[in-house]
Structure 1
Amino acid sequence: MPSLPTIQPEDVAAAETVRPTGAFDAPSDAHDPVRAGYLLRLGDDALILGQRLSEWTGHAPSVEVDLSLANLALDLVGQATLFLSAAGDADELAFKRDVLDFRNCLLVEQPNGDFARTMMRHLLFSTWQHMLYQALSDSRDQAVREVAAKGVKEVAYHREIAGEWIVRLGDGTDESRARTLDALDWCWRFVPELFEVDEELEAAIAAGIAADPRAFEADYRAAIAAVLTEATLPVPADQRAILGGRRGHHSEHLGHLLAIMQYLPRTYPDAVW
């Protein structure tokens, strides 16, 4: 009989830190609509952007970029699974809700466009998401706190890689610069929604569940300005804010995305994998 492998102390310690997907201690306010609403915002942001990035699979400029974008998408879908599991049945929430029930911000549902637009969208969102996850380390909600603590390490890399690409494209050829400027013009109008605090978010902040994005808006703008300056791109003037995603008022793009993402579960509702 072959001898059993020796289990080292560090292996035990590592195993003790592993928690299965959605395995959080149930909070006392598990059915609190304020908590559930905030978890949906976090989960929907990650889910929709993950789906968008997955659309690049097999179509990216190179094999390395193709794999990189796929990994970014997997990170986001993983975060979405954890947030949505803390809010209810993750599969039901992802595949059975209609477009008006989604609470993601408008930025993440925007079409990929060309590679410059995808990277600009990712820079603007991941910089905000990274700062948000850092702030959520003080959340009173265990699920929010734990998922943010895990996700902040992933999103730090997202933010870094997006920033590097924007610098390369903005300070590259005439064509890459023009495309990056066009991407910035397209995406910039959706930034104000990231810092909008409506009544639902205000309630979650008051409950200690959510972080107030207004607290890091100045740091966010400074960070984005630093990347744009290195990319030799101008910082755009503020535009008229486009809002509504948090209240279910989405662009037509989200409906098309959901039609593809939800097709199999809706067509074969009893299918198991």
Structure 2
Amino acid sequence: MSDDHVYLTLAEGHDDDTRWAYGTGFEDPLHGVDTTVPDDVDAAALAALCVALGDDALVSAQRLGEWVTRAPELEEEVALANIGLDLLGQARLLYSRAGQTDGTGRDEDAYAYFRDAADFRNVRLAELPNGDFAFTIVRLLVLSSWRLAHFERLASHPDPVLSAIATKGAKELRYHRQHAAEWAVRLGDGTEESHRRMRRAQEQVAPYLGELFTAFDVRQEVVADLKQVTDAAGLPMPVYRPLPGCGREGEHTEHLAPLLAELQGVARAHPEATW
């Protein structure tokens, strides 16, 4: 099957630059946005939401960064690194908003570098080790579809800052989703070995799918996205059997602490440093 058309229907209705959303240029997405929390918005709930979404992005970015020098081809190394940078940019904006609304005045570094694993609220799928390339593609497809569904809804959030962050992030996430989908079809409909690895990756991801649908009712959108891709790839839809525990409540796998130790090491060794 040719992958020239893969996921084009999901990209329809968006400008051509959506595909190249890496970093979204140098324009400040919050320029001119009123940072006052609206009276009808619960500031504590808003801060908690920003932290959770920021944690998802930060941990995912760290995992994608681990593919640098290890990806199967140079162009893919650059692509995964830039997708990670998009997510890192989203995390920075979300952490900054959390610090403005939770009463602590913390900056983005405080959230990223000076919290322990039990304080993080990311979904557990984001923190699992990369495994092989097929696992990374399946995880990226699932998380980008799920995150995009959230951001499209949050674009109309009554908080103008979160709305602006979501609007900017959705442009990036549409490309992330498309990139993962094209690889999913290429591998699923490729060789016997690549198909086998994609099936195995689906089985590894499946137990963590239930956790994704607890906070927002976006299951219908995400399942529709995944079905379109799996049908094109000749893959079955994953059937999830939820594992106990919830990353949103601070319950994580054994893999998060080592990831954070690597991420936070320099900042914790030199807490007064500036760069």
TM-score class normalised by the smaller sequence: 0.7 to 0.9
Distance 2:183 2:197 in 1: 12
* Cα pair 2:83 2:176 within 8 Å, conserved: yes
Match of residue 145 from structure 2? 127
Q: Which structure has the larger Rg?
A: 1
The number of residue pairs the alignment matches comes to: 243
Secondary structure, counterpart of 1:58 in structure 2: coil
| TM-score, reference length from structure 1 | 0.84
1:81-127 Cα shifts (integer Å, max 9, x gaps):
00001111110010000100000011111111111000100000100
**Number of the residue aligned with 2:59:** 48
Structure 1, unpaired ranges of 5+: 1-16, 198-212
Residue 269 (structure 1) aligns with: 271
AA aligned to 2:28 is V
Q: Provide the C-alpha distance between the structure 2 equivalents of 1:19 and 1:251, rounded to a whole number of angstroms.
A: 34
1:80 aligns with 2:80: no
- Secondary structure of the equivalent of 1:111? coil
Query: Structure 2: which 5+ residue stretches go unaligned?
Result: 1-26, 100-106
| Identity in percent | 41
RMSD in angstroms over aligned alpha carbons? 2.2
- The structure-2 alpha-carbon separation of the partners of 1:268 and 1:131, relative to structure 1 and needing over 3 Å to count, comes to same
Tell me how far apart the structure 1 counterparts of residues 139 and 171 of structure 2 sit (CA, whole Å).
Answer: 19
Q: What residue number does 2:16 align with?
A: none
Q: Distance in 1 between matches of 2:32 and 2:68?
A: 27
Say yes or no: does 1:26 pair with 2:36: yes
CA shift in 2, pair 1:236/1:225, >3 Å: same
Q: Which SS does the other structure have where 1:53 is aligned? A: helix
For 1:98 and 1:253, locate their aligned partners in 2 and report how far apart those are by CA, in whole Å: 13
Distance 1:166 1:21, change over 3 A: farther
Structure 1, residues 137-182: CA drift from partner, whole Å, max 9, x if none?
1101112101000000000000000000000011111111111111
Match of 2:129 in 1: 111
Aligned to 1:244: 246
Mean CA deviation greater in 118-127 or 232-241: 232-241
Cα drift, residue 241 of structure 1: 4.0
Give TM-score scaled by structure 2 length.
Answer: 0.83
**In structure 2, what is the Cα distance between the partners aligned to 1:19 and 1:148?**
10
Between the aligned partners of 2:68 and 2:223, the Cα distance in structure 1 is: 31
Identify the residue that residue 210 of structure 1 maps to in structure 2: none
Cα offset for 1:238? Answer: 3.1
